[in-house]
Amino acid sequence: MTDRDLSGRVALVTGGSRGIGRAICRRLARAGAWVAINHSSSDEAAAETLALIRAVGGEGDVYRADVSSFEATDAMFRSIEADKGPVDLLVTNAGIASFQDDVDMPVDLWRRILSVNLDGTFHCVWCAKEGMLARGDGRIVCISSANGLAPSRIRPDRLIAYGTSKSAVIGFSRNCAIALGPAIRVNCVAPGLIDTDMTSGMSDEIRQRIIASTPAGRTGTPDDIAGLTYFLLSDAASFITGQTYVASGGLVTLP
């Protein structure tokens, strides 16, 4: 992999305004990709991400859309194509979680989490796939979660809806790898506990218990996930598709 090996590529990162998404945007921009930063409600944060991209010599733009809506997602893809060209690198990172996600959660919360985390992933892949298939080249990384592989026994909130949605994202990406290959490669990244806004509300007690159970002895950083995502989008991963990579510091392992 070279420093600018994604030059000429148009990348879309959903949920790109902060946290893991922001780090992925910066990493892809550093590799030469033109980056579309998607967000649903954080104009200021998205502008900060764009500034960080430009600070590393990259270029891109900001696109506001709620990926739980197919119509909004389709309109976003059309806008990106009109502005810069068709998307050929896609990272479906947009996701939500809730500390109310337990045995007493309301039905509306279940539906909202599934609509963003799972439907949003489907909408983006479905909007991207036709052009990728026609061009004979597309690369997709779906961001799932270690909770989608192994439900937490440490957290008091059981993350029923979140874990279910992320399990489904893994299954979806595997099936898409078969259905859309060989033109499109589809892989999945399943992060463990990463220091982001989403996890900032966790109590220090629970955080320390998770760290104590993690062989790496620490929480992850957004850059840890960005580096892995970049690898899967690069030519170095040209023979890799349909796989799920767990980045949890060893807390969750695959057989």
106 burial via Cβ count (<10 Å: 0-12, 13-18, 19+) = exposed
Q: Which of 63, 162, 230, 245 is catalytic?
A: 162
CA–CA separation, 59 vs 34, rounded Å? 5
CA–CA separation, 70 vs 210, rounded Å? 36
Q: Strands of 138-143's sheet, edge to edge?
A: 59-64, 34-39, 10-13, 89-92, 138-143, 184-191, 244-247
CB 77 within 8 A of CB 87: yes
CA–CA separation, 61 vs 76, rounded Å? 12
Nearest alpha carbon to residue 138 among 197, 187, 72: 187
Residue type, 60: G
User: b vs e for 136-168, b when ≥16 Cβ sit within 10 Å of the residue's Cβ?
Assistant: eebbbbbbbbbbbbbebeebebbbbbbbbbbbb
Query: Is-catalytic flag, 63?
Result: no
107 burial via Cβ count (<10 Å: 0-12, 13-18, 19+) = exposed
CA–CA separation, 86 vs 131, rounded Å? 7
Residues marked active site are found at 162
